[in-house]
Amino acid sequence: MQIEIKHLAKNFKSKQVLRDICLKAESGTCIGILGANGSGKSTFLSILAGIQSCDAGSFLCGGTDLLENTKKRAELVGYVPQGTPLIEELSARDNLRLWYDKKAMEQELDDGVLELLGIGDFLNVTVSKMSGGMKKRLSIGCAMAKKPPILLLDEPTAALDLSCKQSIAAYLRHYKQSGGLLLLTTHDVLELELCDAWYIIRDGVLVPFTYDGDLQKLVESL
């Protein structure tokens, strides 16, 4: 599977946030989207996820524009925003039941994505009482309900402790090795090392970047 993002553009009133964004990616790869705060990284992913509209451009997969075909996009694309897209008053189990039927949920908890994410350890915990790492793992679990081959993640391990970062990075590595296609915004070293290609959004433009482990060079490029 290949995706191609062509000439994506987004304006907020008089400010052009994204300009002529173009990108290609293949299954089994992870693309890192970098940039300073406010550069448009989250806007870029939210457009691909269908949360925001764009002013121009397309998001092609197998000849279908996923910005236009919402049904196909729902089948192919999972999205984990930076915030917590969970119902705080409900348990992990009840949040999952909004996305999974009972049989599928039990299967995934026994030997699937939910087991890999360790969600069974806090299945009956209310979201409001969860740690940040639990919430993020549950958010990823919900996003994977339809087993989408494309997963968009907005800074998935920001503000989490090292153990949680490693757990989530391990799952994302498994997802990629299983043929999934990842697009993530990040500044985290573990996630940078997971990526096969890196791009920086600067002044609304997406430009390729080669990350060689030199964080100072990355900081100076943002």
**Which pLDDT tens digit goes with each residue over 1-19?**
899 999 999 999 888 999 9
The pLDDT tens digits of the residues spanning 195-222 come to: 999 999 999 999 999 888 787 878 777 7
What are 217's two structure tokens? 């060079």
End-to-end CA distance of the chain: 30
Closest CA to 185 of 11, 38, 61: 38
The hierarchical CATH code for the domain 2-85+147-221 is: 3.40.50.300
Q: Looking only at Cα atoms, what is the longest distance across the chain?
A: 51
Interval 61-81 mean pLDDT: 96
| Pairwise CA distance, residues 178 & 26, whole Å | 13
The pLDDT tens digits of the residues spanning 51-67 come to: 999 999 999 999 999 99
pTM of the full predicted structure?
Answer: 0.93
